[in-house]
Amino acid sequence: MAQKPSIPKGTRDFGPLETARRDYIFNTIRDKFKLYGYSPIETPAMENLSTLLGKYGEEGDRLLFKVLNSGDAFAKVDASMLDNSNALSLKVCEKGLRYDLTVPFARFVVQHQNEITFPFKRYQIQPVWRADRPQKGRYREFYQCDVDVIGSDSLLNELELVQITDEVFGALGIDVLVKINNRKVLSGIAEVIGHPDKLVDITIAIDKIDKIGIDSVKQELVDKGIDSAAIAKLEPILKLSGTTSEKLEAMKPILAQSATGTKGLQELEELFGLIGLAGVSQETELDLSLARGLNYYTGAIFEVKAKETQIGSICGGGRYDDLTGIFGMPGVSGVGISFGADRIYDVLLALDKFPAEAQSGTKVLFANLGSAEEKHIIPLLKELRANGIVAEIYTENVKLKKQFDYATKRGIPYIAIIGEEEMRNNCVNVKNLSSGEQIALDISGLSKWLKDNQE
């Protein structure tokens, strides 16, 4: 019996319509990246596992897809390695599929530092892989659209990322909320509640507050060894309400004894001031519960959520002060943001906001009435395509009903008919397949008519 075809859970096939819609998302994002002076790069799907391990925290390490070495990969495994999954992984797996685009970018910068100009502004649109539990809005293979600048400490870079976010989602027609926080503020909070050594545990826990709620976050903090007095100090901070200015003012006395926390508040105050000057149209707010779980963030952090649908974050990022340092190039600060194309797709689909130009493509199909008609139509097809109109001819001379059915199933809006009489009169009959209306046109006016009559 033949094997039933399938694909791994958490991955997807994309047909013509889906691919056309995804191209619309990629092209919209790419155009905005280029508008701000960012240049494209690409990195391999596989990286050396040593490049990836330890960069995303314990949870990230568990979600890495590791590529088993060829041959007898376990031949030289020592029994002592069985208690250390990272050591075992490095022994039997030299490579892994990239988890995100930021760590490979840092590796790229260090490896090619003599070939690039700093500050280096790059964008990258490629797939990433995570061994996560598949669910709605969460996939094992998905595309990220990253934009980063490295080699500059200026908050103008953070502003530029907020502006790009504003323009991308404005162009896509998605109303979003841009949440902003600063990891220095979170470090300061960890200090003032008496647990500076528990910053990672605190950020991982509070980053889940939207998913599991404050009570579950508190329990997770208890499980991580954070005492009830510290949690009691933390809870009102996470629940702090009011405008961004009011939250900043309220936090100043709380973090007064933390130089790091105070520095974070100053950066936030400056950034929100720049955002006000830039006239950003999408809503932005300070969210003190925003943590972003990745260990490498050190400054401003961002998360974007669609207001009209519940699907989790559709964009996020932040500043990392020394990510290149792990590859031997310390002291180079960068900041970036990543657009989740797959979740953006789901949002546009749920809100029915894909425009007509994002649909799969042929504008007009020429009916095939015979050999003489084919020869007459071939130069017309060349002319239409030269004018940017997607046009085809049905390749078989069969009954018109079959040709009409084919066009309908393909979603082609117009069918053009040229027979003996039309060839003599140098004209064409064009039928709108949705309305049933038919019009006779001089052949010289067909291109303009199709452009003027978008379906």
CA angle, corner 280, sides to 274 and 281, nearest 5? 155
Residues 301 and 389 in one domain: no
- Look up the CATH number of the domain holding residue 286: 3.30.930.10
Q: Is residue 76 part of a domain?
A: no
Q: What is the pTM of this model?
A: 0.84
| Higher pLDDT among residues 109 and 220, named by residue | 109
Please count the structural domains in the chain.
2
Single-letter amino acid, residue 274? L
231, 217 contact by CB (below 8 A): no
pLDDT in tens, 51-97: 998 887 777 888 999 888 876 766 677 666 666 666 677 678 889 99
26-35, 337-346, 407-416 — most confident range: 26-35
Q: Give the C-alpha separation, 7 to 110, whole Å.
A: 36
In terms of residue numbers, what domain contains 401? 361-452
Residues 311 and 369 in one domain: no
Q: Which of 79-93, 124-138, 246-260, 394-408 has the lowest mean pLDDT?
A: 79-93
- Three-class DSSP category at 143: strand
Long-range contacts for 313-317 (Cβ within 8 Å, ≥24 apart)? 313/340, 313/343, 314/174, 314/176, 314/339, 314/340, 314/343, 314/344, 314/347, 315/165, 315/169, 315/176, 315/339, 315/340, 315/344, 316/292, 316/340, 317/146, 317/161, 317/292
Q: Give the C-alpha separation, 272 to 243, whole Å.
A: 12
Name the domain boundary from 290, 315, 350.
Answer: 350
Task: Tell me the CA distances in angstroms from 123 to 14, 40, 316, one per residue in order.
Answer: 24, 5, 14
**Selection from 172, 163, 158 nearest residue 281 by Cα:** 163
Q: Is residue 240 part of a domain?
A: yes
209-223 and 199-206 helices, crossing angle to 10°: 150
- Residue 130 — φ and ψ, nearest 5°? -140, 135
**Burial call 405-427: b when 16+ CB within 10 Å, e when fewer:** ebbeeeebbbbbbbeeebbeeeb
Q: Is residue 68 part of a domain?
A: no
Q: Give the C-alpha separation, 302 to 445, whole Å.
A: 51
Name the domain boundary from 331, 350, 369.
Answer: 350
Task: Tell me the CA distances in angstroms from 109 to 155, 324, 404, one per residue in order.
Answer: 21, 8, 55
pLDDT in tens, 202-224: 777 877 777 788 888 888 888 88
Name the domain boundary from 328, 350, 372.
Answer: 350
Residues 191 and 250 in one domain: yes
Q: Is residue 72 part of a domain?
A: no
Q: Give the C-alpha separation, 109 to 278, whole Å.
A: 30
- Three-class DSSP category at 158: helix
Q: Is residue 160 part of a domain?
A: yes
Single-letter amino acid, residue 231? I
- Three-class DSSP category at 453: coil
- Give the pLDDT band (50/70/90) at residue 455: low
Q: Give the C-alpha separation, 311 to 328, whole Å.
A: 38
Q: Which of 76-85, 117-126, 132-141, 313-322 has the lowest mean pLDDT?
A: 76-85
Return the pLDDT at 140. Answer: 92
Residues 249 and 389 in one domain: no
- Residue 293 — φ and ψ, nearest 5°? -70, -15
- Three-class DSSP category at 274: helix
What's the average model confidence in pLDDT over 273-295? 89
Residues 428 and 339 in one domain: no
pLDDT in tens, 329-385: 998 999 999 999 988 999 999 999 998 777 768 999 999 999 999 999 999 999 999
Single-letter amino acid, residue 187? S
Q: Is residue 289 part of a domain?
A: yes
